[in-house]
Amino acid sequence: MLERLLKRVQAGGTLEVTALAGELDTSPAMIEAMLEHLEREGAVQLCARSRPACSACGLGATCGIKPGEQMRVWEGNLDGTV
């Protein structure tokens, strides 16, 4: 399942943790834990934690986050290593 999640993140686009959990048939908590593991391994990186970071994001105007909401955005490393 970890490899499936990594491939999904590397494919790009945006998905909420709950949507990823549904796609991979697991819980949102498990998705969060796997993303944190992948970050520690260097396979993904955390790009944004809250609305102020959205100004640098090409999807900032369309992702649906509202002012004051917290959000984390992950990006896969291009080489695909774990």
We report the CATH number of the domain holding residue 65 as 1.10.10
Give the pLDDT confidence score for residue 61 in this predicted structure.
Answer: 60
Give pTM, 2 decimals.
0.66
30 assigned to some structural domain: yes
81 assigned to some structural domain: no
Give the pLDDT confidence score for residue 46 in this predicted structure.
Answer: 74
Give the pLDDT confidence score for residue 66 in this predicted structure.
Answer: 63
Which residue stretches of the chain have pLDDT < 70? 14, 47-74, 77-82
Give the pLDDT confidence score for residue 82 in this predicted structure.
Answer: 46
Name the domain count of the chain.
Answer: 1
DSSP letters along the chain, please?
A: -HHHHHHHHHT-S---HHHHHHHTTS-HHHHHHHHHHHHHTTSEEEEEEEGGGGGG-TTTTTS-PPTT-EEEEEEE-TT---
